Structures are given as structure tokens and as C-alpha cells.
Amino acid sequence: MFVKQLTVGEMGVCCYIVGCLKTGKCAVIDPGGDEERILEEVKRAKLTIEYIIATHGHPDHVCGNRRIKEASGAAIIMHEADDVYFARPEVIKYFSMLGLESSPPADIQVLDGDEITIGQEKLQVIHTPGHTPGGICLYNAPDLFTGDSLFVGGLGRTDFPGGAHEELIKAIITKLLILPPETVVWPGHGYGGNRSTIGEEKKSNPYIR
């Protein structure tokens, strides 16, 4: 699977272009700004965007959804719980303090265990609530895109509306740490580093050891 990591936007979001080189189809995960740069990278790789996938609904991760969709015609994918939660007027009002655009409604809602097919590649949806109600990770061995659920040496904050610390810890331990130790962790921000492995996080992440 083709994987390109880009750090984008005002809040340093790790955006990913993931695709199937055999078919030329790809998805953009978390386009949190710098949309023209993302589109140029897709063009440079000679890929076509089929999907825009949100690991969660926070505006710093979805503020580029509308522009990427308008430029490519790609469908927006989000977990059902976040698609509903982040459409609530009071939630929109709260997160408007970030000054970033919220996502249009999802074209496709997903649930835990669903698969997103990109050409001949498949991303397994792993629901990891806690940072947000509908936070997800995306798995195609050996690659795991963890959004703001799991960082290198850290995990997502849970003090925003919709957060639940114990729920996030449980999801990480029961759904992510059971993956093979060589699984590559691609986080939603590069706070502790831009990549890691499940084995390394099990040994050294102070929040989940």
C-alpha cells in the first residue's frame, strides 16, 4: 500500500495519502489544511482520490474535507457516532473557537469492523472511542493509522466535549495493543514522533504500560 505522510494546517495534523498503486486509487486521511499541497501530492503520485476519511470529527482534522471533496468528488467517510455528534449545534458552537471549518456531513458512515476498499487494498475500521465518541483507527497490516487515539509516547486528550479517558484507555489496550508488535503506528500528530510501532508503544508509552 502506498503511504505518504504530510504535516498540514495550523495545528500540525498528520495527514495521510494511502492508495493502491495497481489501480491508482487512493484515500486522504485527515486533511487538516494545506489542501492544495495535498492535491498536488496526490497528482504527483499519479493517484485519484476516492475517499476522504476522518479518524474523528475535530475541526483540525476535517477542515479540509469540503475543499478536497469539491476538487476531487471523493466521498467523505466518518464513524456514525462522530457524524452525528459533530453535527449537533452546541458542539459546532463549542469547536468554532478553533476558527476552523467543520466537515460537511459524511457520505458514508462506518462502524467497528467495517472495511474500506481502495482499489485492491482494504482498510479495517477499528472503533476507538474516548478522544471523541466515534474515533477510529484504520488498519492494513503492517500499517495502523491511529488519528488522535494513540500518539508516539502518548494518547489523545479527553477533556474536550465527547471525551472519555477510561473508554480511550480500554479501546487502546483491547483493540490496538493486541495487534502484532511490528505494526507501524502512524499518529494524528507528531508530538512524540511521526511514527512508532505497537511493540514500542507497549514497552515505552507511559499512559498504557
Residue 83 maps to a domain: yes
Q: What is the mean pLDDT of residues 176-181?
A: 98
Residue 59 maps to a domain: yes
Q: What is the mean pLDDT of residues 72-85?
A: 98
**208, pLDDT greater than 80:** yes
* Long-range contact pairs involving 46-51 (C-beta distance under 8 Å, separation at least 24): 47/2, 47/17, 47/19, 48/24, 48/72, 49/74, 50/25, 50/26, 50/74, 50/75, 50/118, 51/27, 51/75, 51/76, 51/77, 51/108, 51/116, 51/118
Residue 78 maps to a domain: yes
What is the residue type of 57? G
Q: What is the mean pLDDT of residues 172-177?
A: 98
Residue at grid coordinates 504527483 = 44
Torsion angle in degrees (nearest 10) through CA of 126, 120, 71, 86:
-10
CB 26 within 8 Å of CB 20: yes
pLDDT at 21: 95
Q: What is the mean pLDDT of residues 127-149?
A: 98
pLDDT at 209: 72
Residue 209 maps to a domain: no
- Of all residues in the chain, the percent with pLDDT exceeding 70 is 100
Q: What is the mean pLDDT of residues 110-125?
A: 98
Q: What is the mean pLDDT of residues 148-160?
A: 97
Band (171; pLDDT cuts 50, 70, 90):
very high
* Rounded Cα gap, residues 9 and 97, in angstroms: 16
User: What is the extent of the structural domain holding 14?
Assistant: 2-204
CATH of the domain at 91: 3.60.15.10
Strands 184-187 and 143-147: parallel
What is the residue type of 112? D
Residue 197 maps to a domain: yes
CB 158 within 8 Å of CB 130: yes
Domain total of the chain: 1
Residue 199 maps to a domain: yes
* Rounded Cα gap, residues 132 and 86, in angstroms: 10
> Average model confidence (pLDDT) for the chain?
97
Global confidence as pTM = 0.97
